Amino acid sequence: MSSNPLYRLFIAIPLPDHQRVTLSHWSASMQKQLPFQRWVHPSDYHITLQFLGACTFKQARKVKRELKQIVAKEDPFQLQVRDFGFFGVPTHPRILWAGLGGDLHRLQSLYHTVAEKVEPLGFTKEKRRYQPHITLAKKYGRNDFPHDRLAEFPPLHGELSWTVDEMILYQTHLYRSPMYSPMAQFGLG
């Protein structure tokens, strides 16, 4: 047994229950029309701020210390689910996602603060432009994806806005569903 176990970690904003339920109902209604290979478990819906990857206990402790300092200076803010989109080739996308609206400036600011604080701990900043989203499904299957009809997809029903009031350090458990569990939670403000 290793004396230095590794954890697969990332930092994210969780979704409240009512958002998870709303997105879960929408996803369930679309599964026959959109044959993705894997639909995300509703408990795993989140907005990623920073992927960390494999971490030792010591690294995780340092990350927690930084996150405590960050949240002490951050006030809660509003987000909402806005639209749907995809990443990848339009006819066979890798990811189907729900897009966000609301105080995106605050979300971007939080993203940059987190990246800057964990970089000195050995974690690489993402080089691509930050595109905050909620992943709903992965790996599109057969036939062509109806990307040109995305605007025709049924709208979401229910409360689409919420107050972001915490950040979570999540641990990934590969091959489980749900596959993410909170290692530590940090309330904003």
Which residues are known to be catalytic? Answer: 46, 133
For the chain, the straight-line distance linking the first and the last C-alpha, in angstroms and rounded, comes to 40
- The rounded distance, in Å, linking the Cα atoms of 49 and 33 is 30
3-state secondary structure the chain: CCCCCEEEEEEEEECCHHHHHHHHHHHHHHCCCCCEEEECCHHHCEEEEEEEEEEEHHHHHHHHHHHHHHHHCCCCEEEEEEEEEEEEECCEEEEEEEEEEECHHHHHHHHHHHHHHHHHHCCCCCCCCCCCCEEEEEEECCCCCCHHHHHHCCCCCCCCEEEECEEEEEEECCCCCCCEEEEEEEECC
